[in-house]
Amino acid sequence: MKRYIFSIFFAIVIVGLYHFVNINLFSLDLTKRTREALFVVRNEPDIDDALLLLNIGRLEPDELAAKIDSLLITGVPRIGVNLCHFDKVPKGLIARYRENDRVIFANCDSSQPGALSQIVGDGNAVTHFKTDRSDYFELQLTGFTGRGNDWERINYGVRLDYRLKGELNNSYYWFDPDYLENKTVLLGYMGEYVTDEIYYFKNCRITPLNPYYGAEEDVLPDMYDIEITANIIRTIHHNDFINEVNQVVRVLIVLAICMINVIVLTYAKTRWIVVNLVIATVLFVLLTGAASFLLVYMFDKRYFLSLDELPLILLVTTFFTVALNISQKPFETPETSKG
């Protein structure tokens, strides 16, 4: 019985430790690597054709006003404008459209109404957006009032491409009332010109679509703020939210896998140490592989589960259990031993 009690104790301690220390097991971190790649390995959801992103680029405020007026002429129902790339916010331009409820400007002060809802975490990464108030920029554009959560995970779809992105300066691309009918147009900075690569590190973030997402340092950003806004709006438009697995449920899953590991190692022991080590290795691979499959399966069902601690827990409990097995007599069973 001791081995089970100690294994549970080790597991709980390691789960708590992961909240304070970033532990890296490198190639053994299969569940962590799987979690970090969840958004990359899939090819859905597709882009939201109810959106159009236009790059402000080098346009000055006076030039922007003319373009916004042209968009309004087409009858587009909603225009969202992010001007936070300017060193000085053009208050005159914002004041010009203050009475027009079809034009909504992002507030560059994150503490004020109209601010971006994105949550910028450690290392400039953005995975969630705030829903504790209804006056965030993206929530104003969609009329979303929340699901009762203070924040939601952004369900990043496939990368936005030429079908949704263009240059605001190129009126021939977008000046078509039929094309813009029922679209939400987002104006924001996406570099000096639209490109698949980010060369200009203004208003750029790291997202789970980044191939180096999860690396500890020196990761270049891969998405502009206005593109993140588009992903937030797509999540809301399609009611395609990802539900976070409750912390208690997550810990119970970890403990269940841990117990399976200890039970199998306890009853599958042999008199040969090498064979026991082989069994332990195979079991570690099988359990981490099964856990990774569970992550992918639940993510496909729109549930986000993290089992980052599992490999270390399995390593510690495996070492502990195998050590107990070796210390016992060759055919001694757990019931007849003190371990």
Query: Could you tell me which residues come within 8 angstroms of residue 142 by beta carbon, excluding any fewer than 6 positions away?
Result: 184, 233, 236, 237
Closest CA to 141 of 84, 79, 75, 203: 79
Distance CA 11, CA 31 (A): 16
Tokens (6 digits) for 218: 């020196």
Q: How confident is the model at residue 153 (pLDDT cuts 50, 70, 90)?
A: very high
> Which pLDDT score is estimated for 335?
52
- pLDDT of 173 > 80? The answer is yes
End-to-end CA distance of the chain: 7
Least confident of 121-125, 156-160, 283-287, 293-297: 156-160
Q: What is the per-residue pLDDT across 285-302, written as a single tens digit (0 to 9) for each?
A: 999 999 999 999 999 999
Q: Which tokens sit at 40? A: 């990359």
The mean pLDDT of the chain is 91
| Amino acid sitting at position 269 | K
Would the pLDDT of 339 be above 70? Answer: no
The domain limits of the chain are 2-40+245-327, 51-239
Q: What is the C-alpha separation between 279 and 58, in angstroms, rounded? A: 62
Would you state the structure tokens that stand for residue 10, as one six-digit string?
């080790």
151-153 sheet: strands from edge to edge: 118-120, 126-130, 151-153
Q: Report the Cα 240 to chain-centroid distance in Å.
A: 14
Q: Decide: 166 and 53 in contact? Cβ < 8 Å.
A: yes
Burial of 44 (0-12, 13-18, 19+ CB in 10 A): exposed
* pLDDT band of 147, cuts 50, 70, 90: very high
**163's tokens:** 């079908």
The predicted structure's pLDDT at residue 330: 54
What pTM, to 2 d.p., does this model score?
Answer: 0.90
Is residue 165 within 8 Å of 28, Cβ to Cβ?
Answer: no
| Paired strand residues for 95 | none
How far, in Å, CA of 231 to CA of 180, rounded? 19
Say how far apart CA 61 and CA 51 lie, in whole Å: 23
The band of 283, judged by pLDDT with boundaries at 50, 70 and 90, is very high
Pairing verdict, β 118-120 and 126-130? antiparallel
- Res 64 pLDDT > 70: yes
DSSP, res 123: G
